[in-house]
Amino acid sequence: MAQDDSRDLLDGARTGRSTPGGVIVVKIGGGADPEAVLDEVAERAAAGRPTVLVHGGGAAADELADQLGVRREVIRSPDGTHSRRTDQPMLEVITMALLGQVKPELVSGLRARGARAVGLSGADGEMLTAKRKPAIRSVQDGRTVLIRDDRSGQIERVDPTPVQAVLARGDVPVVSPPASDAEGHLLNVDADETAARLAVALEADALVLLTDVVGVLTDPTDPSTRLPEVGPEHLDGDLVRGRMRHKVRAGLRASRTVAHVAIAAAKQDRPIRRALGGAGTFVRDGGQA
For the segment 139-181, what is each residue's pLDDT rounded down to a tens digit? 777 777 777 788 899 999 999 999 999 999 999 999 999 999 9
The domain containing residue 110 runs over which residues? Answer: 25-266
Q: What per-residue confidence (pLDDT) applies to 139?
A: 76
Instruction: Mention every residue, 6+ apart, whose C-beta is less than 8 A from residue 57.
Output: 30, 94, 97, 98, 101, 102, 176, 191
Taking the alpha carbons of 139, 141, 146, 148 in that order, is the dihedral positive or negative? negative
Candidates 230, 211, 175, 224; CA nearest to 31 is: 211
pTM (whole model) above 0.75: yes
Instruction: Kindly list the strands in the beta sheet with 186-187, ordered across the sheet, starting from the edge strand earlier in the chain.
Output: 153-158, 128-132, 179-180, 186-187
Is pLDDT at 5 greater than 80 in this prediction?
Answer: no
253 or 137, greater pLDDT: 253
User: What's the Rg (C-alpha) of the chain?
Assistant: 18
d(CA 71, CA 73): 7
Is pLDDT at 4 greater than 60 in this prediction?
Answer: no
**Quick check: is 11 in a domain?**
no
> Is the peptide bond prior to 178 cis by the omega test (within 30 degrees of 0)?
yes
Candidates 11, 77, 23, 14; CA nearest to 50 is: 23
Residue 78 banded pLDDT, cuts 50, 70, 90: low
Mean pLDDT of the 214-242 span? 89
65's enclosing H/E stretch is: helix 58-68
**Quick check: is 158 in a domain?**
yes
**Quick check: is 20 in a domain?**
no
**Quick check: is 13 in a domain?**
no
88 or 77, greater pLDDT: 88
**Quick check: is 278 in a domain?**
no
Query: In a 3-state reduction of DSSP, which class is residue 135?
Result: coil
**Quick check: is 68 in a domain?**
yes
Is pLDDT at 216 greater than 80 in this prediction?
Answer: yes
**Quick check: is 8 in a domain?**
no
Residue 10 banded pLDDT, cuts 50, 70, 90: very low
**Quick check: is 100 in a domain?**
yes
Q: What per-residue confidence (pLDDT) applies to 2?
A: 37
Lowest mean pLDDT among 15-19, 40-44, 155-159: 15-19
CATH of the domain at 179: 3.40.1160.10
Is pLDDT at 13 greater than 50 in this prediction?
Answer: no
Task: Work out the mean pLDDT of the chain and round it to a whole number.
Answer: 88
Q: What per-residue confidence (pLDDT) applies to 42?
A: 98
Residue 192 banded pLDDT, cuts 50, 70, 90: very high
Q: What are phi and psi for residue 82, nearest 5 degrees?
A: -115, 145
Alpha-carbon distances, residue 60 vs 96, 103, 142, 210, 260 (angstroms): 10, 11, 30, 17, 30
Lowest mean pLDDT among 18-22, 25-29, 31-35, 281-285: 18-22
Q: What per-residue confidence (pLDDT) applies to 21?
A: 56
Burial (0-12, 13-18, 19+ Cβ within 10 Å), 59: middle
Q: Into how many domains does the chain fold?
A: 1
